[in-house]
Structures are given as structure tokens and as C-alpha cells.
Amino acid sequence: MDVPVLGPFKMIFDQTVAPGFLKAEEKIEAKRFYARWLMNGETGEIMIAGTEKILKYDKDDVEYWLQSPEDYFKKPDTSTENTNSMSFSISSDEDDDTPPQFTRTGGKEIEFLHGFRTKKWITTISFSDKRMVFEEWFVEKLPLMILSDSLETVIKTKFNPDGELVTVEHTEFSSNLIIQEMDSLTTLEPIEGHAVKINFLVYEESDDPKFTVGFEILELYAEPVDTGYFVIPEEYQRVKEE
């Protein structure tokens, strides 16, 4: 992701899930010095069915703590500015009522990407003063992702103090969603299947993109489970819940 002011940074998500076990890690790497100071870090969490608390840990500080399900599933307070969330919006000239134009090419040739058999599509959304380009690699089916989501749903639902079903949500910024939000009556058919890589670029008055976001699945595989993977290393120091 390349954001004005913050500059480019990378977010890596590594998740391992098995019946009754979940381990998820998040790593943020920024290139600019002040962005590294603000954003860099590597954290994780472990859920084990039959336990009462969720293990949370910080790999940089070599610390861990226990979090209650009540705190874990508490909805974040968005009424104040003290939040780690980030959002953005894209709009055209307010005085220009010209609707955006949608074009899409590709989807014919097979491309192998990280072991996936994909088809690449390029979708362009054009305004009078800017354009958005989606480069997307789709596969027909992604059964391991469906299995992973179902296992994650089961264990998180067990921990949810409200007892409600926890639906797994994925970051979604595909051209299918954006076009549907902009024009629900569009005749452009959605791309079928599952995206394994997306590049999203915004251009204004230059051939160089002003804003870019990228997403890709680097690995997705199944192997025998080792329950020893779902533990906190001995050298980690326990601290109070943050």
C-alpha cells in the first residue's frame, strides 16, 4: 500500500487454523522513517478451544497477555479520534454530473501465480478528472479458503460471549464491489470466482499513480496439525492486558 504522507507500507497476515485452534499474526513494515516509528510492529493471537482466555502477544516486545472474550469481541469506540482504523474515499469533481465509465479487458489467458491457476482482468473506472484501475487475478474456486473460514468461524463463535455466529470478514476492494456501489444498474458482468491478487491504482493528472493498494495470497495449503505451534515461546514475559 502506498498512501500519501505515510508513503509505502506492507501488511502481512499469517494465519494457521485447525479444529479447535487458531493462530493469527499481523506484521506491518513501513519504508519511511517516521512511518516506521508510528506503524511498524508484529503482533499475534492464539485461540484454543476449551480455554477461557485468548492469548495475545507482541513479537517486538517479547511479551504476552491474556484477553477476555468480552474485551476481544467488544465493538470499537468510533466516537473519538483515538482509533487505529483507517479509511479513504474517492470522489470526482462535485460540479461534474457525468457518470463514471466502466471498461474491462482480459480474462482469456491462464497465468500461474503462487501456484494458483488464474486469469487476469483489468478494469478501469474513468471520471472526468481521474481514473481508477484494478488489476485482478481470479481463480474459479478456492476450497481451502472456504475450509479455513469455516474453522475460524467455529472457534470464534465458541469464544463469543454473546453466543452469536461470528462471520469471517475479508478486506474487500475488488472492482466487482466498487462498481456495484457506484452503479447498481450497471450492465458490466461481475468477475466470477475468487481474487488471489488485486492491484488498485488511482491516477489523476499524471501517468504515475497517486495512490496504490495491493493484496495477494502468497500461500494457502493444508498439512498435518502440530498443536505445539499454538503456544507462547518460553522467553516471552507475561504482562497485564493492554
Question: Is 0.85 topped by the overall pTM?
Answer: no
pLDDT for position 82? 44
Per-domain boundaries in the chain: 2-74+98-238
pLDDT for position 59? 94
Within a 13 Å sphere around the CA of 74, how many CA atoms are in the beta-carbon half? Answer: 9
All three cell numbers of 34: 517516521
pLDDT for position 86? 46
pLDDT for position 185? 82
Residue 37 to residue 81: CA distance in whole angstroms: 20
pLDDT for position 76? 74
Calculate Rg over the CA atoms of the chain.
21
Digitized pLDDT (tens) for each residue of the chain, 242 residues in all: 544 556 676 889 999 999 999 999 999 877 655 555 556 789 999 999 999 999 999 999 999 999 999 999 988 765 554 444 444 455 555 556 778 899 999 999 999 999 999 999 999 999 888 999 999 999 999 999 999 999 999 999 999 999 899 988 876 679 999 998 888 788 899 999 999 999 999 998 888 888 888 999 999 999 999 999 999 999 999 998 75
DSSP per-residue letters across 113-125:
ETTEEEEEEEEEE
Residue 130 to residue 99: CA distance in whole angstroms: 12
All three cell numbers of 213: 493498494
